[in-house]
Structure 1
Amino acid sequence: MARQYEQLTDRLTDFIRDQQMFFVATAARDGRVNVSPKGLDSLRVLSPDRVVWLNGTGSGNETAAHLLDTPRMTLMFCAFSGKPNILRVYGAARAVHPGEPEWDGLVSLFPPLLGARNLFVLDIDLVQTSCGFGVPLYEFQEQRTLMDSWAGKKGTEGLLAYQQERNRSSIDGFPTGLPEAEAMREA
């Protein structure tokens, strides 16, 4: 049932592209484990052994904080329609923030996202599939538009203030590496 690969195959890459959402898991050495659902058009396969995903402003920034302590990341994709399948992608990840050298090139791979806060580059060291027999069937309706609406209402300065207040440390008090407002304004 479960099968392991050293990198993504064309078939697995196609599976990823067909999914409307994925899950991200990270953990620092101490503190809470974080698992977050991600949607929108926010993930790109760069090569068989590297993916990047775009992260918008949210209520926390746990992933960035965890990666500063321990770079482990797992992405999980589930087939909620069609043939059952679960795909887990394991590796070491790092955050890229606005103003850093890679930001412009990587963020250009995605449609504009108001409040884009960081990108995460995952270097894959293991890929695993499993059956997905226990995953229920769901019908996709549409992506939510609330993030853009919320970010639009806040405006650039409001988003920067929100990020400075709520996204510079994790719920466990770990720093996230998010630049100070001045650096983000210059980006």
Structure 2
Amino acid sequence: MAKQFPEIDDAQRKFIEEQHVFFVGTAAPDGRVNISPKGMDSLRVLGPTRIAWMNLTGSGNETAGHLLETDRMTLMWCSFTTRPLILRSYGTARTLHLGDEGWDELAELFPDHRSARQIYDLNVDLVQTSCGYAVPFMEYRSDRDTMQKWVDGKTDDQIKSYWVEKNQQTIDGKPTGTAS
């Protein structure tokens, strides 16, 4: 049975911090809904109603585009180990780009990563837990090194060129606000 909470409690925070992957969901008022898996050391629970996560370069940039139109965001974690649990945090988010006020303060919370495109600052207004009875057991081996190898093979200018080529529009053709 799903249970709802006004904020993240200590047990929920611990659960979030133990997970190796989370999912982000956003949608513009029209067009496609986007759900993306995220990993690496890219998320911080900053308090009972605040989460920040650093978005690294990817092949798309739907979250940024959606947040230009509506600030709704959902983050989800699910246990693949012993405890069957799904946890979602719902709220509104703002996008920070390198150079924006607040970027430096939040970026200090994460390992330095040259391909960081945005930091999302989520104000949580609802937390929901539900059973994870149908979620399979899976064993975590390690983070992939693919992103780091890709970054290591690029200059900063090449990464920015990639953003211009691949990250300027959503799949629905809307702008993402990513610097060119």
TM-score by length of 2: 0.98
Shift of 1:148: 1.1
> 1:56 corresponds to which residue?
56
Range with greater deviation from structure 2 (122-131 or 146-155): 146-155
Shift of 1:146: 0.6
Shift of 1:179: 2.1
Shift of 1:114: 2.6
Q: Is the 8 A contact 1:49 1:124 kept in 2?
A: yes
User: What are the residue-to-residue correspondences of 1:16-165 with 2, within 5 Å?
Assistant: 16-165=16-165
Q: Which runs of 5+ in 1 are unaligned?
A: 181-187
Q: Is the 8 A contact 1:114 1:148 kept in 2?
A: no
The amino acid that maps onto 1:128 is Q
Matched residue SS, 1:154: coil
**Cα deviation digits, residues 99-152 of structure 1 (max 9, x gap):** 111111111100112301101011001000001000000000000011111011
Instruction: Give the paired residue count.
Output: 180
Give percent identity, aligned residues only: 52
The amino acid that maps onto 1:83 is R
Instruction: Spell out structure 1 runs of 4+ moving beyond 3 A.
Output: none
Q: Is the 8 A contact 1:80 1:135 kept in 2?
A: yes
Matches of 1:152 and 1:61, distance apart in 2: 21
Q: What is the RMSD computed on CA atoms of the aligned residues?
A: 0.8
Matches of 2:64 and 2:156, distance apart in 1: 21
Range with greater deviation from structure 2 (8-17 or 148-157): 148-157
**Cα deviation digits, residues 33-66 of structure 1 (max 9, x gap):** 1000000011000110010000001111100000
Q: Which runs of 5+ in 2 are unaligned?
A: none
Shift of 1:176: 1.0
TM-score by length of 1: 0.94
> 2:178 corresponds to which residue?
178
Q: Is the 8 A contact 1:23 1:38 kept in 2?
A: yes
**Cα deviation digits, residues 21-44 of structure 1 (max 9, x gap):** 000000001111100000001100
**Cα deviation digits, residues 79-103 of structure 1 (max 9, x gap):** 0012110000000011100111111
